[in-house]
Amino acid sequence: MDATARTTPPTLTAHTVYLLSRTGKAARGALAARLAEQGLRLWHMAVLAALADFGPHAQRELADRLAIDPSDVVKVVDELAAPGYVERSRDPADRRRVRVALTPAGRTALTGLERETEAVRDAVLAPLDARERATLHALLSRVYAGLDGSSTP
């Protein structure tokens, strides 16, 4: 080990915002690495989850719900359609719209991604026991619910 230890400055770790930012980035990075092994990124999982929870969406609705740029939705859906995780079809009522629906293969894939997510949680939250994890989850849920458009760039 080095004499100049890799100690993070207390001035930083004293701020909850810093800890949130750091642990969040670590969690995000670890999850992204897992998904990358299957050629997917975080947005792919988000789209699959939205379709699983709320049924078929127009691409525009996906963009609204997930707060992604509509042009990026196109690419994500493209990449999900290639392995057959989602299907595109024209809305007969409004032929401008494209209905995106989850396939059985997509649902299976989502289940797998959730397992990966749990593995990441076990790695990142290793220092915490079950009760503490539940507490953390509850607190973060409320913080997340409090985020409105003003503070989510």
Binding site for its own copies (CB under 8 A): 2, 4, 6-13, 15-31, 33, 42, 45-46, 49-50, 52-54, 61, 64-67, 110, 114, 117-118, 120-121, 123-128, 132-133, 135-137, 139-147, 151-153
- Binders of DNA in range 61-90 (CB under 7 A): 63, 68-72, 74-75, 77-78, 88
d(CA 120, CA 64): 28
Residue 88, beta-bridge partner list: 100
Tokens of 44: 């792919």
Single out the residue of 14, 37, 95, 129 in contact with DNA (rule: CB under 7 A): 95
45 contacts 96 by C-beta, under 8 angstroms: no
Question: Closest separation between CB of residue 126 and DNA, Å?
Answer: 22
Residue 42 near residue 87, CB atoms below 8 Å:
no
How many Cα atoms sit within 13 Å of 98 on the Cβ side? 14
Nearest approach, Cβ of residue 148 and its own copies (Å): 10
- Pick between residue 9 and residue 131 the one whose CB is nearest to DNA: 9
